[in-house]
Amino acid sequence: MEPLIKITTRDDIIPEYRNTPVGLFLEYHNLGRKFVKHTKPELLIGMCIDSRLVLNVPHNFSYVVRSGGGNMRDMEFNISYAIAVGGIRHIIVLGHTNCAMINLIDKRKDFIKGMVDTAGWAKYLAEEHFQESQPIYEIKNEIDFVLKETRRLRLKYPRVTVVPMMYRVKNNHIFLIDE
């Protein structure tokens, strides 16, 4: 059974997240809450670069940091800046279904060919790049990865609320992940 909490009403939002930027995000995206004007971002969302992921949030509501698979390891200065200077106290780690970073090793040949044909790289450089990067960016399971990334960020930023969520691509719905 998937550990996903479906959000179709405000009451579905875990009480500790209601009346917080996290709850407001779920209300905007899933429940169609009417947008209000925000004078500054209230949270940071770390998510994948996948173009199928479109958030339904008002202008100036959140910082959004995108990277392959939603891996935030290379984005820590950006996150730290949003916390230290932007005053962010809530982070959402937003994974998604059907992520192309799953079974990355199976895409090795296409990756190398694409770097040679499209980017103009020498084949050996493309092979090295894949070999060095694949272990860092490989995702074996979307939910497990989001939970692991959530735990890592909680340790790094102990006074910031970090919440794991999953975006279901087929219906544009966001779920809380039951930890």
Q: What pLDDT score was predicted for residue 1?
A: 55
Q: What pLDDT score was predicted for residue 179?
A: 87
DSSP state of 107: G
Residues 145, 96: contact at Cβ < 8 Å? no
Angstrom distance (rounded) from CA 94 to CA 45: 7
| Each residue's pLDDT tens digit, 65-119 | 999 888 998 899 999 999 999 999 999 999 999 998 998 999 999 999 999 999 9
* CATH of span 4-101+139-177: 3.40.1050.10
Listed by start position, the domains of the chain span 4-101+139-177, 103-138
Residue 158's SS3 state is coil
Closest of 173, 105, 93 to residue 140, by C-alpha: 105
| Each residue's pLDDT tens digit, 124-173 | 999 999 999 999 888 989 999 999 999 999 999 999 999 999 999 999 99
Residues ≥6 apart with Cβ < 8 Å to 169: 50, 52, 53, 96, 97, 98
pTM here is 0.92
Closest of 85, 72, 99, 80 to residue 169, by C-alpha: 99
Q: Give the model's confidence band at 51: pLDDT under 50 very low, under 70 low, under 90 confident, else very high.
A: very high
